[in-house]
Structure 1
Amino acid sequence: MPAIVAKRTKARSLYWQGWTLSQIAEELDLAYTTVASWKSRHKWDDAPAIQRAEEGTLERYLRLMAKDKKTGQDFKEIDLLGRQFERMARIARYCDGGTEADLNPARANPARSTNKKKEKAKNLLTREHVAQLRADLEAGLFGHQEGWQASVSQRTRMILKSRQIGATWYFARERLLVALETGKNQIFISASRAQANIFRNYIVQWVQKVCGIELKGDPMVLQRGEDEDGAPLEAVTLYFLGTNYRTAQGYTGDVVIDECFWIYGFEELFKVASAIATHKQFTRTLFSTPSTLGHEAYPMWTGERVNKRRARKDRLKIDISHRTLKVGQVGKDGIWRQIVTVFDAIEGGFNLVNVDELQLEYAADEFDNLFRCLFLDDSLSMFPFAMMRRCMVDSWDTWHADYQPYALRPYAGEVWLGYDPNASESGTGDDAALVAVAAPTKPGGKFRILEKQRLKGLQFDAQAKAIKLMCGKYNVTRIGIDTTGAGKAVEQLVRKWFPTVTAYHYNVQIKSSMVLKAKNVISAGRLEFDAAWQDMMSAFMAIKPEVTKHGVSYVASRSGGVGHADLAFATMHALFFEPLDITEAPGGTTTVEIYE
């Protein structure tokens, strides 16, 4: 195309986009009179609207097609522009003497329209959609996630990983693509149904963003369209399970187990998972932050699970050092293991955390557990994992009769609040914890932790407001607040609108009584909370006895004066309303002050 013709075409395109003649002349380095002459001679104003739309659409389409590296959004727009060409062609046929069927093919073939509606209702994801999703995934991976992608064909993967490095986010996407590309069902198993739904939410949000399709259903049945030869592909199903995994024994497919080192009854769960994935074509993926050395999944990690069935001379040696497993390795037992610390993730380009800030916020042993992938030794804990695991329930299934977490008033019964305030006198910089505990409905009944909140960096009035908002959701009859330090100001503000608030002024005696009361309740199997709440588990497990000049006290490891057992002590403030003799009525004092 001669240069002058190209400029004239460009000038016309800009004019149809709303540019003035002066702006066009300046943009293309032309004389105003030249542009005005083109406009008049070639009758730009008389051109049909459809011609203008076609030219603008074609220009954008060609620009996108010329890109070497296309993003998921590019593919989405190319698909949209293609549909626009088809629509404009129908309009052109109609304007050229066509019928209404040219505008709406459904009028010519109503059955075809009905079939299309049915397809849309069945979560249809075509090969083009899968290509868009694959491109979007690969464009947004960090180095450690690329390593997981490279291991996708391993029969059994067991990954020990740092907190908050995008594992659930990644495996939700990986398994969706595996399902769509291979036709294998995917079974997601978590400690609770609420945690399993995180997988589902990630998948739904991703497909909506990239493909503009809203997936529905649970289980989620996905239609896969047709193969390259036009033959229909079989549908695939995604299952999202909590503690009801026992109902999945008739399923077949790939299995994903989230936070395997925190799930109660791991041995039974893994037997079910192995049955689901018996055929060699299916895979098993387990990933988790570490819990304790005594967890049922730990022998599988070390290799002792397979060795306990072998004679001493035939035992397999499994190296689980970080040096060996940093990049992942298949052990002699056939399990591909990997350790990914937060430092490994950062080394691979992960830039979403500040390690220096994390080390200030967490105690050294807590940081090692959460971010350096070191298992806890809870042998000295007042609340070891073996005791606490009895508290872990799937609240979705267990409490559904009287607890609706998304309702304005989730629970109608009596609720006690416990609050452990900021450790800082300034009221900012440290964590505080607020819990809502459903009181027992009969003597010796169970306590249920319905809700928990971690409050960080709030002034006293904002902390008091958070407590008041919680009171607005539940039928709160008792509130307990630690007033030993910074909590005194919060308690005074709360007392203005809740006069019967109980103030706990800590010393060795009262702290010991609280811990022993909580241990009594937990040992009797009378405390429940959602199995996905690892922070609650860690908070209780962190509490250890310590000998002081005043006697035996109970403390949690601290960093910079900040305890990480705040959720546990907040819970104890609520449990302490019940007397040690559970046949008595709950105590009615509003201040418990035994000064040191």
Structure 2
Amino acid sequence: MAYSEKVKKEAQRLWLAGHSALEIAAKVGCNPDTVNAWRRRYQWDAGDADSSVRHLREKMAAISAGSGELSDAQVRKVDKLSKAIRRMEQSAPRGRLRGARKQKTPGLSVEVIGDIRARILDRLYPYQRDFVRDEARFRICLKARQTGFSYSLGAEVLLGALARKENQIVVSASQDQSEIVRNYCVKWCNDLGVEYLEDKGNIVFPGGGIGYFLPCNWRTVQGYTGDVYLDEYAWHMAPAKMWLAVVPAITVGKKRLTVTSTPYTEYDRFGEIWTQPGKYPRFSRHKVDIYRAIADGHRVDLEELRDLFDAMTFAQAYECRFFADEMSLLSPAEVRDAFRDDALDMNTSAELSGGTDIGRWRDLTAVVLSELRGEKKEREVWVRHMDTLDKMSFQAQEDHIGALFEVYRIRRMRIDRTGIGAQMAENLQMRYPGKVSGVWFTRETKEQLALGVKKLFEGRRMRIPNDRDLTMQLHAIRRRPTEKGFTYDADRNEEIKHADLFWALALSVMDAAGQRRVLGRRNVSMIGG
């Protein structure tokens, strides 16, 4: 089939923006092999020969500058670029870096800074403007997801450095999120014509203020001085230790502390600050749920969002409600204890087990690959790869899973073969005999899968990335008694199933979790009734 130049250019644009061949194929309507053929023939990667830090940062900025949430492939590409930049900077000659720090551009006049501030405010929604205008020393914002706070935080870093002439210290829940804020800050500088210097991932602003963009490693954030931003603080791996490590940076003078996050639990430090104003009276408080964002002009399809999530997950992600479900299979403490920054770092020669939960109707298809590491009695399960496939044909999904077999050493892939997943499971079994097996999702099977995951988390043998979507889906699974035993599932209606990543994870760790006793009608009693 012949494709127009317009289609090829769009495919190239998507490739350079960090999308995978599979995602591009689904968007432009061709086969992933065709995308890869174009990439080789037209040398889309030729620009990668320039491996300078500046070039890599420009690529990261190009990926992050688009509208909407980043895809899985784009997030992975940002992560790879970020790690490449850190390796290059750490190996750079020391003398060169010291020289870079000595460079300083003159400060800007009050009039110019005022003009920059006015232009920034003009580009923000009212709820973003209210927060930026708040000059309180201590601020906290409880916010919904995808309301543009990383974008406005990038602007605040710029204004804080210019107007307050203080260093700006951004500590996000992951290195990827820190880089996203950094890229937004660079974009603001470029859009507003503000010159800046770069030094080991930091930004040196006119007047000498430096922007630091750090991951949530409490061991490495000490020793800085300046305004502090705890970004997505509820999702930091060790929030109490992070507080002790970084908040002293504001000690001298009138430096500021800004805390923003979507909600997790009321019992972590962020939840405590928000729910106990009497204990933290100095904080100026802002709340931006999805309804306020929409009222202020933020354009999202609210009903579409409701269709994508169960009631509890929607309330937590968009209505600013804290997690408080005692029937959840996994506790926040168990999940938080499993977070590891390097969970998705993988050697392609490692032997992996996979799980695939097939999307039905409006569900996503989820794929998880995991690695079993360590000695027999202390073996740990590390999540090494996660994909969610949205609005892809079943053939494209099958090709995507097939591509994983070509890239990684997958020992076993278990696939949900219930209902519409049966055909895909059968096709992949024929393509990869002995490596693919289908699993029927009965009540007993789901109980065994859920208890297997619970066993790994309880035993502190599970290692997962600090990913909000995965975390919320882990908490979406609830344990409920019935006359025939217990059921384990997320809330759903007749058309929509949720927690796809949970079930893909459960399928991938079946061998590591072992067998669990399934309770039946004979050994469970109903209370009351």
TM-score (norm 1): 0.65
CA contact (8 A) 1:393 1:530 kept: yes
Aligned position for 2:137: 155
User: 1:411, CA displacement in angstroms?
Assistant: 3.4
1:139 equivalent in alignment to 2:122:
yes
For 2:283, the aligned partner's letter is I
User: 1:419, CA displacement in angstroms?
Assistant: 0.8
SS at match of 2:303: helix
Aligned position for 2:352: 415
Aligned position for 2:5: none
CA contact (8 A) 2:456 2:513 kept: no
Aligned position for 1:431: 364
CA contact (8 A) 2:218 2:238 kept: no
Query: Aligned runs of 1:52-131 on 2, under 5 Å?
Result: 124=105, 127=108
Question: Which has the larger displacement, 356-365 or 478-487?
Answer: 356-365
Q: Which has the larger radius of gyration?
A: 1
CA contact (8 A) 1:292 1:385 kept: yes
Q: Distance in 1 between matches of 2:101 and 2:223?
A: 28
Aligned position for 2:478: 544
Query: Aligned runs of 1:304-453 on 2, under 5 Å?
Result: 307=279, 333-351=281-299, 353-395=300-342, 403=345, 411-424=348-361, 429-443=362-376, 444-453=378-387
Query: Aligned runs of 1:249-260 on 2, under 5 Å?
Result: 249-260=222-233
User: 1:259, CA displacement in angstroms?
Assistant: 1.3
TM-score (norm 2): 0.72
Aligned position for 1:503: 438
SS at match of 1:512: helix
User: 1:282, CA displacement in angstroms?
Assistant: 0.6
SS at match of 1:376: coil
Q: Distance in 1 between matches of 2:170 and 2:460?
A: 28
For 1:432, the aligned partner's letter is T
Q: Distance in 1 between matches of 2:419 and 2:146?
A: 32
Aligned position for 1:407: none
User: 1:454, CA displacement in angstroms?
Assistant: 1.6
For 1:440, the aligned partner's letter is R
Stretches of structure 1 that go unaligned for 5 or more consecutive residues are 1-117, 225-232, 308-331, 405-409, 583-596
User: 1:565, CA displacement in angstroms?
Assistant: 1.1
Q: Distance in 1 between matches of 2:339 and 2:390?
A: 26
Q: Distance in 1 between matches of 2:477 and 2:320?
A: 20
Aligned position for 2:57: none
CA contact (8 A) 1:481 1:504 kept: yes
CA contact (8 A) 1:539 1:568 kept: yes
CA deviations on 1:513-562 (whole Å, 9 max, x unpaired) are 1111111111121111222x011111111111123443212010124532
CA deviations on 1:418-437 (whole Å, 9 max, x unpaired) are 1111123xxxx322211122
CA pair 518-211 structure 1, distance change in 2 beyond 3 A: same
User: 1:280, CA displacement in angstroms?
Assistant: 4.2
For 2:186, the aligned partner's letter is V
Aligned position for 2:421: 487
**Aligned residues, how many?**
414
Q: Distance in 2 between matches of 1:472 and 1:363?
A: 35
CA pair 380-296 structure 1, distance change in 2 beyond 3 A: farther
CA contact (8 A) 1:218 1:239 kept: no
Aligned position for 1:566: 500
SS at match of 2:354: strand
Q: Distance in 2 between matches of 1:334 and 1:442?
A: 50
Aligned position for 1:469: 403
CA pair 193-525 structure 1, distance change in 2 beyond 3 A: same
CA pair 252-432 structure 1, distance change in 2 beyond 3 A: same
Query: Aligned runs of 1:205-224 on 2, under 5 Å?
Result: 205-211=187-193, 216-224=198-206
SS at match of 2:142: strand
CA deviations on 1:277-306 (whole Å, 9 max, x unpaired) are 1134111111111112333432221227x6
CA pair 196-125 structure 1, distance change in 2 beyond 3 A: farther
Stretches of structure 2 that go unaligned for 5 or more consecutive residues are 1-98, 517-529
Q: Distance in 1 between matches of 2:492 and 2:390?
A: 16
CA pair 256-506 structure 1, distance change in 2 beyond 3 A: same
Aligned position for 2:255: 282
SS at match of 1:359: helix
SS at match of 1:247: coil
Question: Which has the larger displacement, 371-380 or 192-201?
Answer: 192-201
1:529 equivalent in alignment to 2:510:
no
Aligned position for 1:195: 177
CA pair 506-207 structure 1, distance change in 2 beyond 3 A: same
Q: CA RMSD in A?
A: 2.7
- Aligned counterpart in structure 1 of residue 264 of structure 2, from 291, 311, 322: 291
